[in-house]
Amino acid sequence: MFVPGCQRGAALLLALLVCAAQAADESIVAASHPLAAEAGARILRAGGNAVDAAAAVQFALNVVEPQSSGLGGGAFMLIYLAKTGQTIALDAREEAPRRATADQFAGHDFQDNSTNGIAVGVPGTLAGFAQMQQRWGKKSLAQVMEPAIELAREGFAITPYLAHALQSPRAALQPETRALFRHPDGTPLAQGEWLRQPALARTFSLLARQGPAGFYRGAMARAIVAAQHRTRLGPAGRGRMTLADLAHYQPRFLTPLEGHYRHYDILTMPPPSSGGVALLQALGMLERFPLAQQPSWTLGEPTATHVTIEALRLALADRERWLGDPEESAIPVQQLLDPAYLRTRSQLIAPTQRIRQIVPGETQPEGGQTTHFSIVDAQGNVVSCTTTVESLWGSGIMVPGYGFMLNNELTDFNRLPHAGPDDPGANDVHPGMRPRSSMTPVLVFSGGQWRMAYGSPGGVTIISTVLEMTEDLLDGALPAAQAIARPRFAVLDAAGKTLLEPRWPQAGQQALQALGHSLWPSPDPLGSIQIVGVDEPSGRRWGAADARREGTVIRVWVGP
């Protein structure tokens, strides 16, 4: 395990995994890479708002974190508009091609499927950000792309997190990635070496002139379709995307899910995200427990951690059976979040006994190399965005001549069809359908006022990380920096397999194991929270970022 540093590059102990800043009436950017955070800050200094800054952060992340997100992927975002009090959910999730079939992944395992064109969904990032910015931004698409163009053209020093990711074989599966990310002798580029991406710089320059049409139609669209025909599995591995699939892609603007916990209102992402439903379900099940009097954040007493694990198991059981894309199948969101249903589910949770009767669903791998950023601007507009290419380096396929990675998002569908008499098959592959996601951007309100925005990467572990953060902030009343620095656990499935970060006290582990919990050491840090907020008494804005990756907070004040 490696521990990258914060903005100033100093290595931090796991006990201090936070960079933080406080500000009054200023804009705050919290992102997983210092250069991406600076891209957003630059746009804010130039008079842009939170929406403009979000676009700048995303495009810069494509340059400095190509393993995690970019033009070839998708995103979920919550946008709070201070002037109207409106919150919008943006679904820029990737989409299955019209030629997709429910059994297209049946013949191979996750690893094989995920590194071939068959896994590539129609990318949504550019369409989503462009439409979002056109509706609510103040700058042009060309202006918000300027920082990314400069970073790609001029280059930057490889950071510890990227250097670690470059060691993955997925970074060198194709000739284009080997040429860009490897030395002639085949060794990966290392920390501190300079990385320039001229093809990606040209791509952003072209899109700055042509807009999304330059991506979804024409020469670049043809290159995307050709790239996803690449296969190491023979004909079964060829992608099924066509030019028509690209041309017809549209992001969705949705109503956020809203839940209530203690005296807070929590807004989060609706399906095809499963994370929002699972988060609100777990909080609904846990509300009857006095978690503030049973402080899980001390890690010495297992009670609060135990009931949280149990609530997550129940939520993940419902996730596996019922959640998918509501555009393609009936998703019973209202029933799953009905208070009476959650009270019934909560009664299954006992403080000193593990639930035995949960029927586990199929556990399948899910890519965790996502990224999250949160922004508040001087006017109080807020963005909470989680964005991804799915696995580390996505499918491992770079579009020749254009310099961006294609996602492997379609492996988030069920590998084998589930539809049958006892299962609706809500996440089976269907043409035009968007795969179930765990991404869980969050906005917290109290008394009708916005208080916090946060989220995390991590695949299915996102749900646990965001739930723990919510408990620590709202039940524990911990400062964000302290909540971020705590060691984490993550429940992977309804059976209850739970990963633990290294600093968990042995006594706490033994107490959980005595209740029958299945605990495993996590091979990697869990999640990477980026958060902005405002103090209730003082109105001071603040931000905190997680140095499990390279979290950075930048505050921006634009004077007269």
Burial of 93 (0-12, 13-18, 19+ CB in 10 A): buried
Nearest to 23 by CA among 466, 539, 545, 458: 539
Contact 426, 417 (CB under 8 A): no
Amino acid at 152: A
Sign, CA torsion 307/364/434/439 = positive
3-state secondary structure 402-467: CCCECCCHHHHCCCCCCCECCECCCCCCCCCCCCCECCCCEEEEECCEEEEEEECCCCCHHHHHHH
Could you confirm whether 552 is annotated as catalytic? no
Question: What distance in Å separates the CA atoms of residue 507 and residue 509, rounded to the nearest whole number?
Answer: 5
Residue labelled with tokens 């599966």: 173
Contact 443, 384 (CB under 8 A): yes
Looking at residue 31, the DSSP 8-state letter turns out to be E
Q: What are phi and psi of 222, to 5 degrees?
A: -65, -35
Looking at residue 350, the DSSP 8-state letter turns out to be B
Q: What are phi and psi of 259, to 5 degrees?
A: -130, 170
Nearest to 48 by CA among 132, 143, 130, 128: 143
Give the three-class secondary structure for 520: strand
Give me 474's structure tokens: 């709202």
Nearest to 317 by CA among 287, 282, 347, 293: 282
First to last CA, the chain: 46
Residue labelled with tokens 């508009």: 81
Q: How far is CA 501 from the centre of its chain?
A: 19
Question: What distance in Å separates the CA atoms of residue 211 and residue 218, rounded to the nearest whole number?
Answer: 12
Contacts of 477 (CB under 8 A, 6+ apart): 292
Contact 212, 226 (CB under 8 A): no
Contacts of 392 (CB under 8 A, 6+ apart): 67, 68, 165, 168, 170, 171, 367, 369
Active-site residue, from 115, 268, 308, 370: 370
Contacts of 2 (CB under 8 A, 6+ apart): 160, 161, 164
In sequence order, the β-bridge partners of residue 397 are none
Give me 277's structure tokens: 């439903």
Contacts of 135 (CB under 8 A, 6+ apart): none
Give the residue numbers annotated as catalytic, written as ranges.
Answer: 370
